[in-house]
Amino acid sequence: MINTNNKILKRIYKDRYYYYLLIPATAYFIIFHYIPIYGVKLAFEKYRIFGGNQWVGLAYFEELFTSPAFYKALMNTIIISGLKLLIGMPVPLILAILINEVNNKYFKKYVQSVVYIPHFLSWVVIAGIFTMILSPVNGMVNEIIKAFGGSSVSFMTSTKHFRGVLVVSELWRSAGWDSILYTAALSNIDPTLYEAAKIDGANRWQRNIYITLPELLKTMIVVFILNLGFFLNAGFDQVFNMMNDSVISVADIIDIYAYRIGLLNMNYSYATAVGLFKGVIGMILIITVNKIAKKNDAGGLY
């Protein structure tokens, strides 16, 4: 026993410089990640500026589960996330196939370079762009609608259209970048498969249906599973910058709700409880889907 302990100590001593190198990162993770994790105990306490917090147990969770506003926020989160997942999933795949079919390598490079750009812009900028192009007065989209004889629609302030705006702006920002995964999967397909199919008389269309698509569907299932892990993140930055008071009934997702309760109404403990609820569900989702992804031999998230 003493002998093995000694061996370990010797090994640690020999590698001591590696531990020294990890000191700054360790300090960073403890201060900026683990202290806030410990800080969620505020969800079980009544926040007081003076005299320390008072333990109240599950009082804030009782408030949470009986609050209609919270259920509304949960429903909005599920609807918006669900729409993004269903509509946002096939588009990058189709885009990757279309790009892959381009023969001219300069045109291919041009398309790829352009469609990746929006991924690098902040949601503040994208919200600004969408506010302007969707403007009912002289925005691009309404100009087109008017040119075809329609009448202006106020997309950003209409509860009927706002979720659609969220899905479309998400696609505008991410579809190009998300297609990279499928492009990588396409380049991994064994070219001899296509050769063999050609010899067997399969045309271009048949080769896409029977070779390319099944291969990409495998990737899509992995992407789907992993996105499911982040289902409760309906996109705080996006909604926060695009929403306004007239659409709050359809846009108030959990994160926005926590922000309003916590930082605007200063109800710190209740907002921490909202955050904790979301964090725990999110963690369970991520661990579960990661297990599924690994079981399917798809390689997990971590």
Partner 1 sequence: MTKKSIFQLINAVLLLLLTITTIYPFVNLLAVSLTDAKEIAYMTGLDIIPKKLSFDVYKALFTSPQVYKAFFSSIYITVMGTVLNMVLTIITAYALSRKNFYGKKLYMIFLIIPMLFDGGLIPNYMLIKNLGLIDSYWSVILPGTINVYYLMLLKNVFQSVPQSIYEAAEIDGAGHFTMIWKIAVPLAKPGIITIGLFYAILRWNEYFKPLIYINNPDKWPLQVLLRQFIVDSDKGALFGTQTLLNYSSGATAIPFRSLQAGIIIITVIPILLLYPLLLKYFNNVTVGAVKE
Q: Report the site for partner 1 in 137-196 (rule: CB under 8 A).
A: 138-144, 172, 176, 180-181, 183-184, 187-188
> Does the protein bind partner 1 through residue 34 (CB under 8 A)?
yes
Report in angstroms how near the CB of residue 211 gets to partner 1 at its nearest. Answer: 17
Give CA–CA dist 153/145, Å, rounded: 9
DSSP state of 267: -
> Does the protein bind partner 1 through residue 31 (CB under 8 A)?
yes
SS3 per residue for 218-263: HHHHHHHHHHHHCCCCCCHHHHHHHCCHHHHHHHCCHHHHHHHHHH
Q: Which residues pair with 45 in a beta bridge?
A: 55
Of these, 73, 93, 96, 115, which contacts partner 1 (CB under 8 A)? 115
Question: Of the ranges 64-72, 74-82, 101-109, 210-218, which one interacts with partner 1 (CB under 8 A)?
Answer: 101-109
Of these, 166, 225, 276, 293, which contacts partner 1 (CB under 8 A)? 276
> Does the protein bind partner 1 through residue 241 (CB under 8 A)?
yes
Of these, 64, 127, 216, 223, which contacts partner 1 (CB under 8 A)? 127
Q: What are phi and psi of 225, to 5 degrees?
A: -60, -45
Of these, 3, 5, 66, 103, which contacts partner 1 (CB under 8 A)? 103
Residues 256-275 that bind partner 1 (CB under 8 A): 258-259, 262-263, 268, 271-272, 274-275
Beta carbons of 173 and 119 less than 8 angstroms apart: yes
Beta carbons of 44 and 60 less than 8 angstroms apart: yes
> Does the protein bind partner 1 through residue 215 (CB under 8 A)?
no
> Does the protein bind partner 1 through residue 55 (CB under 8 A)?
no
Report in angstroms how near the CB of residue 120 gets to partner 1 at its nearest. Answer: 5
Of these, 67, 89, 135, 152, which contacts partner 1 (CB under 8 A)? 135
Beta carbons of 299 and 293 less than 8 angstroms apart: yes
Q: Residues near 96 by Cβ (< 8 Å), separated by ≥ 6?
A: 179, 182, 183, 185, 186, 216
Alpha-helical segments (H) within the chain: 2-14, 16-29, 35-38, 59-65, 68-88, 90-101, 105-116, 123-133, 140-147, 162-187, 191-199, 204-207, 213-229, 236-242, 248-251, 254-259, 268-295
> Does the protein bind partner 1 through residue 286 (CB under 8 A)?
yes
Question: Of the ranges 73-81, 107-115, 190-198, 210-218, which one interacts with partner 1 (CB under 8 A)?
Answer: 107-115
Report in angstroms how near the CB of residue 107 gets to partner 1 at its nearest. Answer: 7
Of these, 113, 159, 249, 265, which contacts partner 1 (CB under 8 A)? 113
Q: How many residues bind partner 1 (CB under 8 A)?
A: 94
* Of the candidates 216, 207, 212, the residue with the CA atom closest to the CA atom of residue 181: 216
> Does the protein bind partner 1 through residue 88 (CB under 8 A)?
no
> Does the protein bind partner 1 through residue 8 (CB under 8 A)?
yes
